[in-house]
Structure 1
């Protein structure tokens, strides 16, 4: 069965990399900047790269912020990737304080990481890491269950999500001795800090799991 999946085109994100990854999962990706098409999609992915404030500004300038919120009201599968996940929060603190979509309570702040010897860890985080469950069975019923507990994904970020509710953060990873949020979830809504479209076979498995929701 071929599955439709709409990718929000608001001028931010690895749009074509995401599209190609979805095609390899037997999906039929649709790239759209039309608010009505976004709001009425079967499945929706919000990608994102760069700074939080700029991405939030672009989303609002195109009217796609309201379209994403309308979509979420319909309780269908949603995936935010990297900055696309961060935009789900109330605020982001990159180059000033900026308003997000407010789907999850909390903010996005700079990673203040250090090593075991107390010296600063180099940020941004660039490279592969294996997220782990934030609490027992937090991967159950999520795309992580398809990819498996040992899957590794590609991360590129200097800021991390700080959730007000511990239950919202389902995956964590370490930067030096600092624990950071790798994924958030609530009901049909998922967000990941890493880039599944750049994470080889494990990333493909994760996207395949999302398409099965």
Structure 2
């Protein structure tokens, strides 16, 4: 069973439907007791970082997730959900995140090194470049995925960068440390590549021993 965390912010049903199409059993819930019984969790997210953290703390899901990852079961953050895994963000002022991964969430500058302006938020397809071997990437080749974001992760550890995309800066597309993983893009909207990544995550939930650090 894959649990989709309901904290009031996220494309819950698009992720749910994508998992169902892949044959996975899923449940949407904000109840820690229900989520604790799941073999893997997905933390989706659409909206602002500080609002999302406020919602998680209000439901005490931040405390629950801290305990959940100690079990060795996998946690996958998607889009804003990935950003929440980091220590802090500049969105609407400085705020702290879950702190499972070291790094900070920063806004795109909107101008490249040559002084050319570009649109923020970025909405569209960009190619992933694999950086490390990882079970999430098993059997896959580099391909395009769909991003919608104004902020990106400035990671501290290159060993946690699984795949990146090229903008005016290198943008972490997939990150991972042990059983904590994140995808900045929307796999549920990313065609065959997105389906394959979600399928690999489902496999990870069934084989959690592969995630022990």
TM-score by length of 2: 0.91
| Unpaired stretches in structure 1, ≥5 consecutive residues | none
Cross-structure match for 1:153: 145
Cross-structure match for 1:197: 188
Cross-structure match for 2:200: 209
Question: CA offsets per residue over residues 78-123 of structure 1, 9 Å max, x none?
Answer: 2100111100111111000111001111110101254464312221
Superposed, 1:156-175 pairs within 5 Å as: 156-175=148-167
**Where does structure 1 differ by over 6 angstroms across 4 or more consecutive aligned residues?**
none
Deviation at 1:150, TM superposition (A): 2.7
Superposed, 1:26-45 pairs within 5 Å as: 26-45=23-42
Give the whole-Å Cα distance in 1 for the aligned partners of 2:199 and 2:93.
36
Give the whole-Å Cα distance in 2 for the aligned partners of 1:41 and 1:58.
21
Give the whole-Å Cα distance in 2 for the aligned partners of 1:84 and 1:7.
11
Pairwise CA RMSD = 1.4
Give the whole-Å Cα distance in 2 for the aligned partners of 1:190 and 1:200.
20
Give the whole-Å Cα distance in 1 for the aligned partners of 2:135 and 2:152.
20
**Count of residues in Structure 1 that have an aligned counterpart in Structure 2:** 204
TM-score by length of 1: 0.91
CA contact (8 A) 1:153 1:202 kept: yes
CA contact (8 A) 1:13 1:47 kept: yes
Give the whole-Å Cα distance in 1 for the aligned partners of 2:196 and 2:188.
10
Cross-structure match for 2:89: 92
| Unpaired stretches in structure 2, ≥5 consecutive residues | 205-213
Cross-structure match for 2:211: none
Superposed, 1:68-87 pairs within 5 Å as: 68-87=65-84
